[in-house]
């Protein structure tokens, strides 16, 4: 029985595998919403791909062109792999009528693409990761990356790029990685690089390019190394440059640059400037560089490039390296970068100035509202009023009857205020409040019937009681 099972299971598994490969997908393997058609010698995407597929693998085939509608009807696609084909072009509309915003991952590596065109990816606004390494790219259109609004990672290493539109990625909202290593970049546009967001500078891979050996590039790379950016610190040995532009005669930028560059200028000098809202501010670019070929440019916190002579809104740059903010606003706060560049000596220095814009009324010396003094004054006034009420209130003093028989009609009520012997002649008068008790009406004490209860300070008379009892009844002799 065991022997029979040992022979039966492999046969059943092989039969199931054959059925899966021949189930209408041209020999592809399918598992749930994943379809793999790798290594089948396909020259185009299969036409019978199920609409429920979310991950499609078409790598290691012979496709040379992606035509319009190649993925039509695949409305759930999230990942497409087209690596190791022979693609030379991606025609407009190739991804039209597909998942569009749902597609997050596209692998086009190891093909023969020569240009990255914006029209090829206009139907993929939700794309987050695009792999284009190991192609033959020589051109990247300016709008190609800008059209991918959700892009986070772009891999362009091992191509033939001699230029890249860095300005197109400067304001990209989500891009956190740009790999341009092992291309053919001869020089780096330092003004554009330093204006990139810090999150992108951390993962801007530039090693393996035939850069010219100059102090300006060295200082930028050295600064990124000091800041611990992985793009530089993880690939120190691969950041090389050509000495005097001679191919084959190269040196390493890091850790020891062969030229005599002033490394003390690498670390930017920090300074703080505080300006009131609406007021002007003048920022100075401190540098030890001198000469007729010295130029300056500034980069604002909003990544605006400002160079003399010129202005950018409320910012104005001058030939001496100063930057003027005409009317400071709250959004003008932040770190301003100044770069002093000596074109003849191929040297530069950088400085950062932290500007803080405070409200117009901040810092003024007003007479503050003294709460403690006001409270004390209120207490004194209240105390004076109480004393005036206790001792200066006019009261009619009645003569004590000679005997009980001569007592007036109010003596009965006055007797409840206490024994007559508690106070003697000449003692101070005290005002108390009488709480009348007796019959109760709706839960409230009335004045009719025998008087019961007690008298105590703070007990308030009902309005009817105030009309019945005379003022003299409230005074203790």
Domain topology for 274-358: Immunoglobulin-like (2.60.40)
pLDDT at 413 over 60: no
- pLDDT, position 248: 58
Mean pLDDT across 254-268: 59
Q: Quote the tokens at residue 419.
A: 């024994």
Across the beta sheet with 204-205, what order do the strands follow?
A: 29-31, 34-36, 55-57, 79-81, 105-107, 129-131, 153-155, 177-179, 204-205
DSSP element (H, E) containing 475: strand 475-476
DSSP element (H, E) containing 381: helix 371-391
Distance (Å, whole) CA 451 – CA 432: 17
- pLDDT, position 396: 54
- pLDDT, position 279: 86
- pLDDT, position 443: 45
pTM of the complete model: 0.56
Full DSSP string of 185-207: --S--HHHHHTS-HHHHTTEE-T
pLDDT at 265 over 60: no
- pLDDT, position 23: 37
CB within 8 A of 88, min separation 6: which ones?
64, 65, 111, 112, 113, 114
CB within 8 A of 374, min separation 6: which ones?
none
Would you list the domain boundaries of the chain? 24-264, 274-358, 410-476
Q: Could you report the per-residue pLDDT of 306-357, keeping only the tens digit for each?
A: 887 766 677 888 877 788 888 888 888 888 888 887 766 566 777 778 899 9
Q: Could you report the per-residue pLDDT of 92-118, keeping only the tens digit for each?
A: 999 998 888 899 999 999 999 999 998
Distance (Å, whole) CA 396 – CA 473: 10
24-264 falls under which CATH superfamily?
Answer: Ribonuclease Inhibitor (3.80.10.10)
Higher pLDDT, 424 or 191: 191
Among 123-127, 202-206, 383-387, 463-467, the range scoring the smallest mean pLDDT is 463-467
Higher pLDDT, 31 or 16: 31
Higher pLDDT, 137 or 443: 137
Q: Could you report the per-residue pLDDT of 48-66, keeping only the tens digit for each?
A: 899 999 999 999 999 999 9
């Amino acid at each position: 029985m065991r022997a029979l099972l040992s022979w039966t299971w492999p046969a059943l598994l092989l039969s199931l595998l054959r059925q899966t490969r021949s189930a209408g997908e041209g020999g592809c393997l399918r598992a749930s919403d994943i379809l793999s058609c790798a290594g089948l010698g396909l020259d185009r995407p299969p036409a019978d791909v199920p609409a429920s597929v979310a991950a499609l693998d078409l790598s290691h085939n012979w496709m040379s062109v992606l035509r319009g509608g190649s993925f039509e009807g695949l409305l759930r696609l999230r990942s497409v792999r087209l690596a190791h084909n022979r693609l030379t072009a991606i025609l407009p509309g190739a991804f039209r009528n597909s998942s569009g915003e749902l597609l997050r991952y596209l692998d086009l590596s190891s093909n023969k693409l020569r240009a990255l065109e914006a029209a090829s990816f206009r139907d993929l606004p939700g794309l987050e990761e695009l792999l284009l390494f190991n192609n033959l790219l020589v051109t990247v259109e300016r709008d190609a990356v800008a059209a991918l609004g959700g892009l986070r990672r772009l891999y362009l290493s091992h191509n033939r790029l001699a230029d890249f539109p860095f300005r197109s990625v400067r304001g990209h909202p989500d891009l956190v990685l740009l790999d341009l290593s092992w291309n053919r970049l001869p020089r780096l546009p330092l003004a554009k690089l330093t204006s990139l967001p810090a999150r992108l500078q951390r993962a801007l891979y530039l090693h393996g390019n035939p850069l010219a050996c100059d102090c300006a590039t060295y200082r930028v790379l050295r600064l990124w190394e000091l800041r611990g950016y992985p793009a530089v610190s993880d690939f120190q040995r691969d950041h090389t440059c050509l000495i005097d532009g001679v191919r084959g005669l190269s040196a390493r930028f890091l850790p020891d640059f062969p030229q005599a560059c002033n490394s003390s200028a690498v670390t930017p000098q920090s300074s703080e400037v505080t300006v009131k809202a609406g007021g002007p501010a003048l920022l100075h670019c401190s540098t030890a560089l001198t000469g007729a070929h010295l130029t300056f440019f500034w980069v604002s916190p909003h990544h605006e490039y400002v160079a003399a002579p010129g202005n950018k809104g409320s910012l104005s740059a001058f030939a001496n390296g100063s930057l003027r903010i005409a009317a400071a606003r709250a959004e003008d706060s932040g770190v301003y970068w100044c770069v002093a560049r000596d074109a003849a000596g191929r040297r530069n220095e950088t400085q950062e100035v932290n500007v803080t814009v405070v409200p117009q009324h901040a810092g003024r010396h007003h007479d503050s509202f003294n709460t403690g003094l006001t409270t004390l004054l209120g207490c004194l006034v209240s105390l004076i009023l109480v004393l005036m009420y206790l001792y200066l209130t006019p009261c009619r003093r009645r003569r004590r009857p000679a005997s009980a028989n001569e007592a007036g009609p109010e003596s009965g009520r006055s007797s409840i205020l206490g024994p007559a012997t508690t106070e003697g002649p000449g003692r101070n008068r005290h005002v108390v409040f009488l709480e009348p008790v007796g019959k109760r009406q709706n839960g409230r004490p009335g004045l009719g019937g025998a008087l019961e209860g007690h008298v105590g300070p703070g007990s308030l008379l009902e309005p009817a009681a105030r009309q019945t009892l005379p003022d003299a009844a409230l005074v203790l002799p």
